[in-house]
Structure 1
Amino acid sequence: MPRKTGRTLYSRTDLRKVHGMSEPTLQNLWTDRENNGHPAVAETIDGVMHWDGDEWARWHHEFLRQRAAASTKNTPKLDGDPEEMVGPAEAAKVCGFADSATVSHYVKNPPEGWPAPDDWDKLPTRDRPKWKRATLWKYLVDRKGRGHAGGRPAGRRGLAYPYQGDERLTLARQAISANPGAKNAELIPQLQEQTEKTYSRPTWNLILKAAREHPEE
């Protein structure tokens, strides 16, 4: 992990080790960079691509947050520091569960994809599991079923697809229609000027992806 002008540069091998991700996942993220806003290469060293470690981490946390929001019919709690450790009660809120009983059950009998705790609190009578918020966001993104009954997710809050009915999706469709062939990088600046609140590039990339996949209501 070389350091250049105060930055730590990560190769894909470094990202795999630091973030616990597979090579195919990292390759897919890079391949889909036009849609997902993946950071540009910071420097190529001895023929190997490197990215700014801090920039990549910030982007990936936002990417997970947006994907998690679109992957569950429940209302997950997706604010907060991605590196913050949370116990079962807060973990239930992050995942959109009714209460912490589901989390406690999953710890003892984990369904497919349920993450192992990132750490434990040593209490007088028991050990309490803790997870990073980002770990739970990743679970929401990766899980195959919806809720606890299985099946494919219909989208955030029961929508047929991500951002259905969102005024930003309408703006994205209009921008694509008015600028056929334009890349996301060309459309995002003008979209950012059309909303009162400023949304990040990863957010707009996901909205534009939804607009391209669903050009009409």
Structure 2
Amino acid sequence: MTTPNDPGQETNVPPETGRTLYSRADLRKVHNISESTLQNLWTDRENNGHPPVTATLDGVMHWDGEVWATWHHELQRRRAAASTTNPPKLDGDPEELVGPAEAAKICGFADSATVSHYVKNPPEGWPEPDDWDVLPTRRRPKWKRWRLWQYLAERKGRGHAGGRPKGRRGLAYPYQGDERLTLARQALAANPGAKNADLVAGLQVQTEKTYSRTVWNLILKSAREHPEE
């Protein structure tokens, strides 16, 4: 991490601003986000509103750390709201640490039993706890709100608070038999050579429930790899 008034740094930000700048490597460490996810967010910036580069230091792109974090938290909140038919609780401070009871409310679970089960047998994408409360007889996990929003946004399955819906196991490939995969195949057949960004908007209006761009990108990926049943 660096600030734009570091000596010898080339920057397009006035030195007096004093903003803390993060490179992609910094974002990966600070927010515990993979390199591939950060790259995908930047690639899809025209659709997701990714903040512009604040400065280029020694040829490396940097972003205002506070601006980037605020944008990313709100992105996860919106995507989480679009990814479930259950009523998730998506208000509150993104960085606040919450225990199992509040985590259940965030995810739209009936109670904290599902959260406790996920800690022991996590479904795909379930986040590792960010911290633990040490109690006399046990440890209680805690998560940052935005990590749970991110789980909701990116989990597999449709409108199901418990991860993948029944019957998902044993599929030959992702989304096999899913009506959305059929829609994606039809869109690809009708628009050969089109990019995902050009197709998602049209696909989103063809289903009763609105799914995030991330979900549709995964469906389109499967449709490209498996154009026929």
> TM-score of the superposition, structure 1-length normalised?
0.69
Do structure 1's residue 214 and structure 2's residue 226 form an aligned pair?
A: no
TM superposition shift of 1:212: 8.4
Aligned partner of residue 136 in structure 2, secondary structure: coil
Change (3 A) 1:116 1:8: same
- Which amino acid counterpart does residue 104 of structure 1 have in structure 2? S
CA distance in 2 between partners of 1:38 and 1:9 (Å): 15
**Aligned-pair CA distance for 1:213:** 4.8
- Aligned partner of 2:135 in structure 1 is 123
Letter of the 1:122 counterpart: V
Matched, 1:11 2:27: no
Q: Which residue of 2 aligns with 1:87?
A: 99
State the partner residue of 2:63: 51
In structure 2, what is the equivalent of residue 97 of structure 1?
A: 109
Is 1:40–2:62 an aligned residue pair? Answer: no
- Higher relative contact order structure (alpha carbons within 8 Å, sequence separation ≥ 6): 1
Once the two structures are superposed, what CA deviation does each residue of 1:59-115 show, in whole Å capped at 9, x if it has no partner? 000000000111112111000000101111100000000111111111122122211
CA distance in 2, matches of 1:62, 1:34: 16
**Matched AA of 2:153:** V
Once the 2 structures are TM-superposed, how far is the Cα of residue 142 of structure 1 from its aligned partner? 1.8
SS state at 1:131 partner: strand
CA 106–10 in structure 1, closer or farther in 2 if over 3 Å, else same = same
Q: Secondary structure at the match of 1:54?
A: helix
The Cα shift of 1:145 comes to 2.4
Name the stretch that deviates more: 24-33 or 62-71. 24-33
Q: How does 1:36-185 map to 2 (within 5 A)?
A: 36-146=48-158, 147=160, 148=162, 149-150=164-165
Structure 1: how far apart are the matches of 2:207 and 2:118?
39
Cα RMSD between the aligned structures?
Answer: 2.5
Gapped runs of 5+ residues in structure 1? 155-208
Give the aligned partner of residue 2 of structure 1: 2
Distance 1:216 1:65, change over 3 A: closer
TM-score (norm 2): 0.65
Name the count of aligned residue pairs.
164
SS in 2 for 1:138: helix
Hey, which bits of structure 1, 4+ residues long, moved more than 6 A? none
User: Which amino acid is 1:100 matched to?
Assistant: S
Cα separation, 2, equivalents of 1:215 and 1:139:
24
Cα pair distance change 1:212/1:111, threshold 3 Å: closer
Distance in 1 separating the partners of 2:206 and 2:153: 23
Task: Give the letter for the 2:148 counterpart.
Answer: L
Q: Identity of counterpart residues, as a percentage? A: 73
Tell me the alpha carbon deviations over residues 27-82 of structure 1, each in whole angstroms, 9 at most, x when there is no partner.
11111111111001101111111100000000000000000111112111000000
Q: Deviations over 1:110-160 (max 9, x none)?
A: 122211111111112211111110111111112112423526799xxxxxx
